A = this chain, B = another copy of it.
Amino acid sequence: MSLRERKKEKKINEIMNSAMGLISKKGYHATTMDDIASELLMTKGSLYYYFKDKEDLVFYCTKQLLGESIQQAEEIERLDVNSHEKLHKAIVVHMEYLLTERSGFEIGSKPRSFFSGEKLDHVVKLRHDYASCMDRMIEEGMASGEFEQGDVKVKRNLLLGAMNYSISWYSLSGPLDITETAHKSAEHLMKMFVK
Protein backbone atom coordinates (compact mmCIF):
# COMPACT_ATOMS: atom_id res chain seq x y z
CA MET A 1 0.00 0.00 0.00
CA SER A 2 1.37 3.37 -1.01
CA LEU A 3 2.03 6.20 1.37
CA ARG A 4 -0.98 8.03 0.02
CA GLU A 5 -3.24 5.12 0.57
CA ARG A 6 -2.02 4.62 4.08
CA LYS A 7 -2.56 8.27 4.83
CA LYS A 8 -6.06 8.07 3.48
CA GLU A 9 -6.82 5.00 5.49
CA LYS A 10 -5.51 6.70 8.58
CA LYS A 11 -7.71 9.71 7.94
CA ILE A 12 -10.71 7.52 7.43
CA ASN A 13 -10.04 5.86 10.74
CA GLU A 14 -9.62 9.17 12.48
CA ILE A 15 -12.93 10.33 11.13
CA MET A 16 -14.65 7.16 12.16
CA ASN A 17 -13.21 7.32 15.63
CA SER A 18 -14.22 10.89 16.04
CA ALA A 19 -17.69 10.11 14.78
CA MET A 20 -18.15 7.09 17.00
CA GLY A 21 -16.96 8.95 20.04
CA LEU A 22 -19.27 11.88 19.50
CA ILE A 23 -22.25 9.79 18.58
CA SER A 24 -21.88 7.58 21.59
CA LYS A 25 -21.63 10.67 23.77
CA LYS A 26 -24.33 12.85 22.25
CA GLY A 27 -26.41 10.55 20.11
CA TYR A 28 -26.75 10.32 16.35
CA HIS A 29 -29.03 13.25 15.68
CA ALA A 30 -27.34 15.58 18.09
CA THR A 31 -23.99 14.96 16.45
CA THR A 32 -23.56 17.17 13.41
CA MET A 33 -21.13 16.70 10.59
CA ASP A 34 -19.63 19.97 11.76
CA ASP A 35 -19.02 18.56 15.21
CA ILE A 36 -17.18 15.61 13.77
CA ALA A 37 -15.17 17.74 11.39
CA SER A 38 -14.16 20.37 13.85
CA GLU A 39 -13.02 17.82 16.40
CA LEU A 40 -10.51 16.79 13.72
CA LEU A 41 -9.73 20.36 12.72
CA MET A 42 -11.15 19.77 9.28
CA THR A 43 -13.99 21.43 7.49
CA LYS A 44 -17.32 19.78 6.98
CA GLY A 45 -16.69 19.60 3.27
CA SER A 46 -13.70 17.33 3.71
CA LEU A 47 -15.76 14.67 5.37
CA TYR A 48 -17.69 14.37 2.18
CA TYR A 49 -14.51 13.54 0.33
CA TYR A 50 -14.22 10.41 2.41
CA PHE A 51 -17.84 9.50 3.00
CA LYS A 52 -20.82 9.98 0.72
CA ASP A 53 -23.10 11.23 3.44
CA LYS A 54 -23.80 10.96 7.14
CA GLU A 55 -25.57 7.65 6.77
CA ASP A 56 -22.55 6.32 4.93
CA LEU A 57 -20.14 7.45 7.60
CA VAL A 58 -22.22 5.99 10.38
CA PHE A 59 -22.73 2.81 8.44
CA TYR A 60 -19.00 2.18 8.16
CA CYS A 61 -18.58 2.97 11.84
CA THR A 62 -21.26 0.50 12.77
CA LYS A 63 -19.92 -2.07 10.38
CA GLN A 64 -16.45 -1.81 11.84
CA LEU A 65 -17.69 -1.90 15.40
CA LEU A 66 -19.91 -4.90 14.88
CA GLY A 67 -17.42 -6.55 12.56
CA GLU A 68 -14.63 -6.43 15.08
CA SER A 69 -16.94 -7.54 17.84
CA ILE A 70 -17.99 -10.53 15.81
CA GLN A 71 -14.42 -11.41 14.98
CA GLN A 72 -13.40 -11.23 18.60
CA ALA A 73 -16.36 -13.27 19.70
CA GLU A 74 -15.77 -15.93 17.08
CA GLU A 75 -12.14 -16.23 18.04
CA ILE A 76 -13.20 -16.75 21.60
CA GLU A 77 -15.77 -19.29 20.50
CA ARG A 78 -13.01 -21.33 18.88
CA LEU A 79 -10.82 -21.40 21.98
CA ASP A 80 -10.31 -24.80 23.56
CA VAL A 81 -11.73 -23.95 26.94
CA ASN A 82 -15.00 -24.62 28.67
CA SER A 83 -18.14 -22.60 28.04
CA HIS A 84 -17.83 -20.68 31.25
CA GLU A 85 -14.43 -19.37 30.35
CA LYS A 86 -15.56 -18.60 26.83
CA LEU A 87 -18.57 -16.53 27.79
CA HIS A 88 -16.66 -14.82 30.56
CA LYS A 89 -13.93 -13.84 28.17
CA ALA A 90 -16.46 -12.69 25.59
CA ILE A 91 -18.06 -10.38 28.13
CA VAL A 92 -14.74 -8.96 29.23
CA VAL A 93 -13.60 -8.37 25.68
CA HIS A 94 -16.90 -6.81 24.65
CA MET A 95 -16.89 -4.40 27.53
CA GLU A 96 -13.24 -3.50 27.24
CA TYR A 97 -13.70 -2.81 23.55
CA LEU A 98 -16.80 -0.75 24.17
CA LEU A 99 -15.34 1.32 26.96
CA THR A 100 -12.01 1.81 25.27
CA GLU A 101 -13.45 2.94 21.98
CA ARG A 102 -16.19 4.83 23.80
CA SER A 103 -18.37 3.88 20.90
CA GLY A 104 -22.02 3.49 21.49
CA PHE A 105 -24.37 0.87 20.34
CA GLU A 106 -27.27 3.24 19.98
CA ILE A 107 -27.02 2.74 16.26
CA GLY A 108 -26.61 -0.95 16.50
CA SER A 109 -29.71 -1.32 18.60
CA LYS A 110 -32.16 0.74 16.53
CA PRO A 111 -30.79 0.28 13.04
CA ARG A 112 -34.14 1.02 11.47
CA SER A 113 -33.90 4.62 12.62
CA PHE A 114 -30.64 5.24 10.87
CA PHE A 115 -30.31 2.98 7.90
CA SER A 116 -32.37 1.89 4.98
CA GLY A 117 -32.07 -0.45 2.05
CA GLU A 118 -28.96 -2.55 1.75
CA LYS A 119 -27.21 -0.80 4.59
CA LEU A 120 -30.03 -1.69 6.93
CA ASP A 121 -29.93 -5.29 5.79
CA HIS A 122 -26.21 -5.44 6.35
CA VAL A 123 -26.39 -4.04 9.86
CA VAL A 124 -29.26 -6.29 10.79
CA LYS A 125 -27.27 -9.26 9.54
CA LEU A 126 -24.21 -8.27 11.54
CA ARG A 127 -26.25 -7.83 14.69
CA HIS A 128 -27.77 -11.19 14.08
CA ASP A 129 -24.36 -12.75 13.56
CA TYR A 130 -23.08 -11.36 16.80
CA ALA A 131 -26.14 -12.45 18.71
CA SER A 132 -25.87 -15.91 17.16
CA CYS A 133 -22.30 -16.27 18.27
CA MET A 134 -23.31 -15.36 21.81
CA ASP A 135 -26.23 -17.75 21.61
CA ARG A 136 -23.99 -20.59 20.49
CA MET A 137 -21.72 -20.11 23.45
CA ILE A 138 -24.68 -20.10 25.80
CA GLU A 139 -26.23 -23.16 24.17
CA GLU A 140 -22.94 -24.98 24.29
CA GLY A 141 -22.77 -24.36 27.99
CA MET A 142 -26.30 -25.59 28.46
CA ALA A 143 -25.61 -28.68 26.41
CA SER A 144 -22.46 -29.52 28.35
CA GLY A 145 -24.28 -29.09 31.63
CA GLU A 146 -22.17 -26.16 32.74
CA PHE A 147 -24.98 -23.66 32.37
CA GLU A 148 -28.48 -23.83 33.61
CA GLN A 149 -31.22 -24.39 31.07
CA GLY A 150 -33.32 -21.36 30.10
CA ASP A 151 -34.56 -19.11 27.37
CA VAL A 152 -31.38 -18.37 25.43
CA LYS A 153 -32.65 -15.29 23.66
CA VAL A 154 -33.94 -13.61 26.76
CA LYS A 155 -30.69 -14.31 28.56
CA ARG A 156 -28.63 -13.06 25.67
CA ASN A 157 -30.63 -9.87 25.42
CA LEU A 158 -30.35 -9.18 29.12
CA LEU A 159 -26.63 -9.70 28.82
CA LEU A 160 -26.26 -7.38 25.85
CA GLY A 161 -28.30 -4.70 27.54
CA ALA A 162 -26.28 -4.91 30.71
CA MET A 163 -22.99 -4.73 28.82
CA ASN A 164 -23.91 -1.97 26.40
CA TYR A 165 -25.38 0.29 29.02
CA SER A 166 -21.95 0.47 30.64
CA ILE A 167 -20.97 3.18 28.21
CA SER A 168 -23.53 5.39 29.91
CA TRP A 169 -22.38 4.87 33.44
CA TYR A 170 -18.70 4.03 33.27
CA SER A 171 -16.61 6.99 34.23
CA LEU A 172 -12.88 7.28 33.74
CA SER A 173 -12.72 9.30 36.92
CA GLY A 174 -14.46 6.59 38.93
CA PRO A 175 -12.62 4.18 41.23
CA LEU A 176 -12.40 1.35 38.71
CA ASP A 177 -10.41 1.28 35.51
CA ILE A 178 -11.78 -0.28 32.34
CA THR A 179 -10.24 -3.69 32.90
CA GLU A 180 -11.47 -3.91 36.44
CA THR A 181 -14.93 -2.81 35.44
CA ALA A 182 -15.06 -5.37 32.67
CA HIS A 183 -13.92 -8.17 34.91
CA LYS A 184 -16.20 -7.30 37.78
CA SER A 185 -19.14 -7.04 35.42
CA ALA A 186 -18.29 -10.33 33.81
CA GLU A 187 -18.23 -12.10 37.15
CA HIS A 188 -21.60 -10.70 38.10
CA LEU A 189 -23.17 -11.44 34.77
CA MET A 190 -21.86 -14.97 34.57
CA LYS A 191 -23.96 -15.80 37.58
CA MET A 192 -27.01 -15.53 35.35
CA PHE A 193 -25.77 -18.58 33.49
CA VAL A 194 -24.06 -20.96 35.87
CA LYS A 195 -25.95 -23.50 37.85
The verdict on A100 contacting chain B, using a C-beta distance below 8 Å, is no
Query: How many copies of the chain does the oligomer comprise?
Result: 4
Q: Note all chain B residues with C-beta closer than 8 A to A192.
A: 188-189, 191-192
Known: A29-B27, A191-B192. A185 touches B168 (CB 8 A): no
Contact digits for A164-183, partner B, Cβ 8 Å, 1 yes 0 no: 11101100000010000100
Query: Which chain B residue has the least Cβ–Cβ distance from A158?
Result: B162
- State A60–B113 Cα separation when bound (angstroms): 24
| Interface SS, A side | helix
The verdict on A30 contacting chain B, using a C-beta distance below 8 Å, is yes
Q: Note all chain B residues with C-beta closer than 8 A to A125.
A: none
Q: Note all chain B residues with C-beta closer than 8 A to A185.
A: 154, 158
Which residues from chain A sit less than 8 Å from chain B, CB to CB?
Answer: 26-30, 106, 109-110, 113, 150-151, 154-155, 157-166, 168-169, 176, 181, 184-185, 188-189, 191-192
